[in-house]
Amino acid sequence: MYGARFSRLVPLSLVLMWLVLGAGLAQAADNGNSPLNSDEQAFLERAMSDNASQIALAKLAIAKSINPRVLQLATTIVQERTALNARMAQLMPNQRAAGTPMAGDDPTMDRLQALNGDAFDKTFTSALVRSHCRAISAYEAVRLNASNLSLKDLTHEAIPQLRGDLMVAIAVLRSSGWTAPAHHPEAIAAADTHAAKAAVFWEPISLVAAPW
């Protein structure tokens, strides 16, 4: 009688032990990934809005440009920033949907809509250089200082992608395949200035002082 009862209790005790162990592991995982603090939430909201602005500019480039390198860069921006915003949204399930720039609040968009040809391509590409330099520095600050592990992983994975796009944009600006003389020589100068900063992107930066 006691043997039969023991044989029935052993599996139940094992199940209970597994449940307790699983709950403990889940709690440990939660404790290891701290909730987003206010600075991290602000970063995500700004990053998603910035991504949305870049997507809008890139879609305009796809519609207006005939330069194959600009079109390829713009297509890459749309694909990568759309995927990045989707990942960021998963980190903020209880927050108001972010990432949609307000209509009429982007002077770069207004300027680009009035341009065509090489003038458009150079202005679009130089705008990408400036925005990517600021973004990379901000992502580096979060990667180094964030307490949320998921956010640290996201920025760690996004930074090489952003750097790659920056290098492509600079290469496009420096290319000699334009159909007309440069209308905006300051675009090349801006690219050179920002490119000089590429070597120090990984230096420690305060999260609060992220350059946005």
| Whether residues 65 and 133 fall in one domain | yes
What total number of domains does the chain contain? 2
| Whether residues 101 and 3 fall in one domain | no
Residue 52: closest CA among 88, 71, 89, 78: 78
| Whether residues 9 and 49 fall in one domain | no
What CATH number corresponds to the domain at position 131? 1.20.1260.10
The amino acid that residue 98 corresponds to is A
The answer as to whether 144 is a domain residue is: yes
| Whether residues 95 and 6 fall in one domain | no
Task: Give the Cα separation of 73 and 59 in Å (integer).
Answer: 11
Confidence at 188, pLDDT banded by 50, 70, 90: low
| Whether residues 83 and 125 fall in one domain | yes
pLDDT digits (tens, 9 = 90+) for 26-35: 443 444 578 9
Residue 64: closest CA among 119, 108, 104: 119
pLDDT computed for residue 25 by the predictor:
45
Q: How many other CB atoms are there within 10 angstroms of residue 82's CB atom?
A: 14
pLDDT computed for residue 200 by the predictor:
37
The answer as to whether 211 is a domain residue is: no
Per-chain mean pLDDT for the chain = 78
Helix axes 38-64, 149-174, angle to 10 degrees: 30
| Whether residues 62 and 164 fall in one domain | yes
Residues near 112 by Cβ (< 8 Å), separated by ≥ 6? 57, 60, 61, 64, 120, 123, 124, 127
The answer as to whether 208 is a domain residue is: no
| Whether residues 90 and 112 fall in one domain | yes
* Residue 2 structural domain: 1-32
pLDDT digits (tens, 9 = 90+) for 129-170: 999 999 999 999 999 999 999 999 999 999 999 999 999 999
State the pTM of this model.
Answer: 0.71
| Whether residues 82 and 23 fall in one domain | no
Task: Give the Cα separation of 114 and 109 in Å (integer).
Answer: 9
The answer as to whether 160 is a domain residue is: yes
pLDDT digits (tens, 9 = 90+) for 92-132: 876 655 455 544 468 899 999 999 999 999 999 999 999 99
| Whether residues 20 and 45 fall in one domain | no
The token pair that represents 139 in the structure block:
């992502």
The token pair that represents 192 in the structure block:
């050179």
